[in-house]
Structures are given as C-alpha cells and as structure tokens.
Amino acid sequence: METGDWRVGVDIGGTFTDVVLWREGSENLVQVKLLTTPDDPSRAVLDGVGEALAEAGIGAAQLTSVVHGTTLVANALIERKGVATALITTQGFRDVLEIGREWRYDLFNLDIEMPTPLVPRRLCLEIDERLDATGAVDTPLDLEQLPGIIAALGAADVKSVAVCLLHAYLNPAHEQAVGSAIAQAMPGLAVSLSSAVSAEMGEYERTSTTVANAYVHPIFRDYVERLAGALQELGYSRELLLVLSDGRGIAADVAVKYPIRLVQSGPAAGAEAARLFGELARQRDILCFDMGGTTAKACLIHDGEPERTVNFEVARETRFAEGSGLPLLIPAIDMIEIGAGGGSIARVDQRGLLQVGPDSAGADPGPACYGRGNEFPTVTDCDLLLGYLDADSFLGGKMKLDRAAAEKAIQTHLADHLGISATEAAWGVHETVTANMAQAATIHAIERGLDATRFAMLPIGGAGPVHACSMARKMGIARLVCPAGAGVASAIGMLAAAKSFEIGRAAPAELSSLDFAKAADLLREMAEEASALVSSAGAEEAEVTRRFSVMMRYVGQGYEIEVPVSLEMIERQDREALSAGFSECYSNRYGRSEDMPAELLSWRLAVTGQRSTLGDTLGQRSVAGVAAPVSKTTRPVWFDAGFVETPVYKRADFGTGSRITGPAIIEENESTLVLPAGFQLSVDAALNLILETTS
C-alpha cells in the first residue's frame, strides 16, 4: 500500500461511469469504467470508487478529495424529470417564457415545436413592483400580495420556486424580500433568485436560467446529500467537490445552490483534460472531439485555453437547431453537440435514408451487442461488426459483446430495408455519423473565426478514438494527439481542474461615460465574493489568481464579446486602453473593427486556485519503447472498400520513440484507436500517440 495524498475523479455519463484514482506525485492512474445505473447514479459511483480503491489497496479514509461531474442536471432538463416549479415575476411579465425572443428557429416549418417551458402558465405568478433600467424603484414591492402568492404555492404543491423580477440584476432588494418571505412561510421549499443565479441582462435568458435552476435544485440537492452520505459510510471524511460547466471545481455546498451550473460538467472536464494533454504534447491549438455512449461534442482550445461562453442552450427540441432549446446564461466552456454517441440508434427513415440518433440505447438496455434486451442497431453494434471493436477485449475483457446480436439487429432494421449486406449497412452508419460530425465541427470553428485545419484533433471518450482518423481526414486535419486514458478523460480532467468560480454583474454603460470609480468598487466587491466561494473549496488565498473581463459591443448591437481587463486599468481610469482592447478582440473575432461608440454590458471575474500537479507528473512518465512494436494478433477490419487483415496492438506495447504505420488497431481497456492506411503513428515523451497523415 502506497502512502500520500490520494484523489479520485468520477464522471457519470449517459452510458458509462468513469472513475480515476491518482496519488499525488505518482505517474500512474487507476482507471475504472462501468455501466451507469440510471435508476440511481450513485450506485455506479460507489461501485467504481470501491473497485479503484481495492485495486490500489487503500481505504476511502486515505482519500484527500473526491471530484465529481454528473449528467443528472442535463438529463433532468432533457427528459423533463425535475420537480413541480413555480415562477414569481413582475406584474405583466408572466408570459416571458412563452414569448421568448419571438423568433422561429425553422422559419418555414408549419409544424415547428418550440421548447416547452419548465413552468406552466398557471404557475407563473405576478406581484406588483417595478424597477427601472437603472435599478431605481419605480413601483414599490407590494408585500401585502405575498400571503396570497404563498397560499397559491402551497395549493399547487410546488417543490421549488424561481423569483425573477424586472431589472433585479441591478438591484436585488425586491427579490431578496420575496425570497425571505417565502423561506419563512414555507421553509421546505427551494427558492432560486435570479439576482443570485444569473445577475445578467436579458430578461428571457435570465428567467429561463433561474427557472431551470429551480427545476433541478431539489433533486440535485438530494442526490449530492445521498452521495456524500454514502461516501462517508465508505470512510471518506473530506468535502465532495463538483465540476461546473466551465471546467472549474467548487465545493458541493456552493454547487448545490447553483445546480444549473453543472449542466455540462462532464464534457467540460473532458475539455480540461484535452487542455492538459495538449500542453503535454506542446500543442496549444486543439480540437477536442469527445464521443461517448450518448452524444459527441466538440470544443476548440485556442492558444492553450478552451473557448468560453456565457450563453448556450440545453434540451433542444431539434438537434443542432439554435433557438430550439432552453437558453442559459451561465459561464461555460463553449462546446457544441456535433453528433451521435456509441449507443445512438440507427434506422432507415421514411425517405429510405440512414438516420442515426438522437435517441440512444444508453446504459440500460444499451446496444444490441450488450445482450441486455435491445433489438435495435447502434453505432457500437456497427463498430463491432466492422472489426473496430473486439467482442472479447471490450473494457479489457470485463464485458463480452455479442457479435451475432449486433449483426442480427443491423440486418433486420437496416440492411434488409436498404437491400445491402449487414456489413455495408454498418459502414454506411459509420460514414454517416463521421461525416455529420466533421461538418458540424468545421462549422463550429468557422463561426468563431477559426480555421479547424490549423488545429490538431484530440479524441477522447470511449468512442472518440474509433472515429477520430476518419473524421480528421474529412476535415482536412493532418495531426492528431491521442492520449493514454482517452476513454476516461473526463474523470482525468476532474483531477486536473482548479478550484475556481466565476461571477458576473450587469452594469450597462456607454464607454464614453463610464464611471471608472464606481466600476472599480464593483470589481473589488466581486473579488471579495468570489474569493470567499473558492476558499470554501480549500483554495489558499496565496494561490488565488483573478481574471477580470467585461462584455462589450458597439452601441445598437444585439450581441457582445468578452474583453480581458485588469483592476489596475480600471483604477487608473484608462479609457483608451479599454477601447483598444475591445477593438482588438472584436477584430480577432470578426476580422474588422468599427469607428463607432462602444458600450459595456456586464463585468466578469474568474477567481482560480492553484491547478493540480497532475500535468507535471504525467509529463514525466516517459517509457522507452520498441522502435517498431510487433503485434501479437490480427483481425479483419473494414476500411473503405472491404475487410483488411489488420495487426492489433495493446497500448502498453508502445513507448517513447515507437513508430508504426496504418492500418492498425491499438486497444486500451477503456477505448480503441483505429489507425487507417495513410497515417503514421509515433509516441512522444509524454506517451501521447501522435498521428500524422502520410497521404
């Protein structure tokens, strides 16, 4: 048994739960992958942690931290499995969720389905009060209406309430008064205030975010309490840390107040892992391609940092259609869903064309080859039939796959309808999925003013390395970085995540009339608030760094960009430097800047503790390798026109300096890399597999 500080990262996905155990200073990771338990996700967490502890020969009492990310919030929103929720808003604004932006995401579709509000109109309650656009009181809050509202909440048996009053981001006093009255009258009711959850401009987005937070708050609170209690029973006595949608870690008691901030915590941790692996490979521009069991996502890491946003959507009615989901106004890594996952179901549509997803077989019953009762073909079934996956070595041999069941599902539901063989149908699914992902990822880069061909691709997730080379070739990407542990990368990213928190405060003003003294006071207040939250997660004040920014646009525009600033710049009232910074950021994004007045919308601050030393230790694990490893087995694998007898390697066969050319299959317990002809593989000093095109 080894002594030291032991840390564990846990990522719950739609199909698999990943656990990674690491001892501070060690180059070795204990990695566990097991099926998610949808009825109670904490069961898979505890089973995985127990398995990792047993393999390391330690007890839970020796753990110094447990860092966790979960799809619980996202799934509750997508599947509409939150709690009965009410909204309290300013008189005359109860229909804000229904009205939205008065914009149709599919202009000519007469049968368009707009996102269904999380709160029905009958539970959107109004109260007399009004603040003007500066935060000054126009109509005082009518406290005499509160008993009637509270009685209506009790009669409707709601479990949570969102309070979102007009312009409360500038003056939270009315919201706080309403929240206090409800808490006193109904102490068991969860209350979310927009001024705390999302103190930003944008009435519809702020209301949507606050309602979504209220909708998932009780189930997330109960889940965290249940998981923390179970970990204590195992013997773990430290605090549970959770990863937010911006890839940052925070204490569970803070996360419980803002569960909506965890809506994409797992994928965000994957992006953090990609940043880490890119750093080890000395690659600062990375296209992170994360393909798991349910979905595939892409994120751009530019100049060593993931692209970030404060506006995105969740639970879209129509896949890839902007405006068809619930808008959220929270800090997040800017990623996009680009395709299906390994468990996504393939079918022939009414036009006789292959369609993959968006529905997934998930963990239960899972793909047909899992032998758990699903008869419909999935991407994983097709990958098995094509020889990319091996029925006997899946998950390191812990889980056997049923090739006959996969072939039957493909033949019955695809091949027979298309008049082709099962193998050809499987290849069609593989090509369809890969082409769709390549197109979506390319568009994602173009929309951000970036050229994807200048980036290296870094595939993660259980299915990412299977599809990466084919996708890179379609995108014109010539270099791939394939790290060890790609199949559990999100859990690794959780161990690498810094303790951090980001807050935003709306303070609209034109640049020409900005009150710098008032702005500096606001930034100092924000720094004090955010530092306290990060300190609660165990970050030392001496380790903390602060990154200030401001959201700006030209006057009259409907969209804004983030501009880095410093507190010193604001304190010295350097209007010229702020203007130049905005022009530079605008030009970088859109290729030009204008000689027009600019305005500020909100200030932002990210307070970050010291990053984990995981990257330092992984960068030292170089192992000299055989120059040309020899495969011990071969198997037929489908490439383009037919099956090719292909050498199969184990990831452990490779060390620094090893080289091979495709075609080849490289198997790891948690993922499989498919290397087609036309690619050369080499191993760098950090044991990353570097793939480069040769044709």
Contact residues for 559 (Cβ-Cβ < 8 A; gap 6+): 553
Whole-number mean pLDDT of the chain? 90
Q: Quote the CA–CA distance of 135 and 385 in Å, as a whole number.
A: 63
| 505/594 same-domain check | yes
Q: By mean pLDDT, which of 129-138, 322-331, 618-627, 659-668 is the weakest?
A: 618-627
Per-residue pLDDT band at 150 (split at 50, 70, 90): very high
**Cα–Cα nearest to 145, from 120, 165, 160:** 165
pLDDT confidence bin for 320, thresholds 50/70/90 = low
Q: Is the pTM of this model over 0.75?
A: yes
Question: Is the same domain home to 589 and 654?
Answer: no
* 81 and 165, same domain (yes or no): yes
- Asked whether residue 511 falls in the same domain as residue 586, the answer is yes
> What confidence score (pLDDT) does residue 619 get?
63
Cis-peptide into 365, omega within 30 deg: yes
pLDDT of residue 623: 67
pLDDT of residue 502: 87
Asked whether residue 122 falls in the same domain as residue 203, the answer is: yes
What's the DSSP call for residue 81? -
Instruction: Quick: pLDDT tens for 529-551.
Output: 888 777 766 666 667 788 999 99
Q: Is residue 596 part of a domain?
A: yes
622 has a pLDDT exceeding 70: no
CB 177 within 8 A of CB 156: no
- Characterize 557-576 residue by residue with b for buried, 16 or more Cβ atoms within 10 angstroms of its Cβ, and e for exposed: eeebbbbebbbebbeeebee
Shared domain for 95 and 121, answered yes or no, is yes
Q: Quick one: pLDDT at residue 625?
A: 65
Q: Please check whether residues 640 and 688 belong to one and the same domain.
A: yes
**Mean pLDDT throughout 632-658?**
92
Range in 13-22, 105-114, 148-157, 305-314 the model is least confident about: 105-114
- Residue 37 inside a domain? The answer is no
Cα–Cα distance for residue pair 507/550, rounded to 1 Å: 10
Please report whether residue 23 resides in a domain. no
Compute, in degrees rounded to 10, the torsion defined by CA atoms 588, 592, 596, 600: -20
Q: Which of 174, 201, 220 is the last residue of a domain?
A: 220
Q: How far is CA 296 from CA 81, 292, 459, in A?
A: 23, 6, 10
Same domain, 83 and 127: yes
pLDDT of residue 542: 66
The model's pLDDT over 344-371, given as tens digits with 9 standing for 90+, comes to 899 998 899 998 877 788 878 989 999 9
Residue 240 included in any domain: no
Q: Which of 178, 203, 220 is the last residue of a domain?
A: 220
**Gap between the Cα atoms of 310 and 312, Å rounded:** 7
pLDDT-derived band at 319, boundaries 50, 70, 90: low
Using alpha carbons, list the distances in angstroms from residue 681 to 152, 261, 481, 660.
66, 39, 10, 5
Examine the domain organization and report whether 94 and 184 are in the same domain.
yes
Please give the pLDDT value at position 618.
73
- Number of separate domains in the chain: 3
What pLDDT, on the 0 to 100 scale, is given for residue 398? 87
On whether residue 579 sits in a domain, the answer given is: yes
Query: Which residues in 300-336 are b (16+ Cβ under 10 Å) and which e?
Result: bbbeeebbbbbbbbbbbbbeeeebbbbbbbbbbbbbb
| 91 lies in some domain | yes
Residue 81 sits in the same domain as residue 216: yes
pLDDT of 563 strictly over 90: yes
Q: Cα 297–298–301 angle (5° rounding)?
A: 145
pLDDT greater than 80 at residue 413: yes
pLDDT confidence bin for 405, thresholds 50/70/90? very high
Whether 410 is in a domain gets the answer: no
Q: What is the mean pLDDT of residues 569-579?
A: 95
pLDDT reported for residue 1: 44
- Which secondary structure element, helix H or strand E, spans residue 406, and what is its range? helix 403-410
Spatial separation of the C-alpha atoms in residues 677 and 522, rounded to whole Å: 58
d(CA 596, CA 551) in angstroms, rounded, equals 16
pLDDT band at 477 (very low <50, low <70, confident <90, very high): very high
pLDDT at 628 exceeding the cut of 70: yes
Say if residues 337 and 319 touch (Cβ distance below 8 Å): yes
Assigned domain for 4 exists: no
Range of the domain at 637: 622-693
**Local confidence band at 427 (pLDDT 50, 70, 90 cut-offs):** very high
637 and 658 co-located in one domain = yes
Reported as a single tens digit per residue, the pLDDT across 36-93 is: 888 888 899 999 999 999 999 999 999 999 999 988 898 888 888 899 999 999 999 9
**What average pLDDT does the segment 176-200 reach?**
95
pLDDT for position 316: 76
Residues 568 and 589 in one domain: yes
pLDDT at 423: 96
Residue type, 179: G
**Residue that finishes a domain, picked among 177, 193, 220:** 220
Percent of the chain exceeding pLDDT 70 equals 96
Cis omega (within 30 of 0) for bond into 38:
no
